[in-house]
Amino acid sequence: MAYFIIGFVLLLIIAPMVAILPSARQKKQMRFRKEAMGQGIGVELTRIDDPIPHRDKYLSSTGKPLEPILGVAAYSLTRPKSDEWRISPRIDWILERKAEISPDLPGHWHWHKSRPVEMSREFEDFLVRELPSLPGDVVKIQEVNDRLVIYWHELSNEEGFASLVAFLRGCIAISPCMIHDDLDPI
């Protein structure tokens, strides 16, 4: 009987310690975040409005409606300032993944309001070409004040992480602004 009591007490002491150890998914997320930060990519946990708010998904246990807010990881890079930063225009844009298929972008990606008219064709072609390579759990992409942010659930594997990093680097490498050569002659 004494061995049973000692075993039970040890179990009560050890169980909480085992319960706080990170799961395999949490270890993978930590590895992604550490690798991204090592490459100069900012990572933060944040909350955004759900672009596909299913009514049933946001109900409390009592049936009260909840705010459609998603908890996601934001992977970000800041666009380097050009030499001519005083005359260089800045374009702010947002892409969101919606439930319906988009007529002008691949898959379920949609412009938040509309495509910026000042956006270069080269940058738009890059987006159209590279958006399908992003992991399926990326919810939103935005560039505001020269800071590019991808909002991601981090459910993908290493290939998804690599495509996300490549997409970030590719977006930063191409200027979204229309330069004089892109303008159509009148």
Instruction: For residue range 34-51, list pLDDT tens digits in order.
Output: 999 999 999 999 988 877
Three-state DSSP at 153 gives coil
**pLDDT for 150-186, tens place per residue?**
999 888 888 989 999 999 999 888 877 765 444 444 4
pTM score of the predicted model: 0.78
Residue with the bigger pLDDT between 133 and 185: it is 133
Q: What is the pLDDT of residues 143-158, one digit of tens each?
A: 988 899 999 988 888 8
Tokens of 22: 């990170």
Residue found under tokens 């061995």: 3
What is the arithmetic mean of pLDDT over 131-144?
90
pLDDT digits (tens, 9 = 90+) for 82-105: 766 565 567 888 998 887 887 778
pLDDT of 70 higher than 60: yes
If we measure between CA atoms, which residue out of 59, 77, 78, 75 comes closest to residue 67?
A: 59
Residues 6+ apart with CB under 8 A from 109: 95, 96, 97, 98, 102, 131
Q: In the chain, pLDDT over 70 holds for what percent of residues?
A: 87
Helix H or strand E segment including 28 = helix 24-38
The DSSP code for 171 is H
pLDDT value, residue 180: 46
φ, ψ dihedrals at 76, nearest 5°: -135, 150
Name residue 102's beta-bridge partners: none
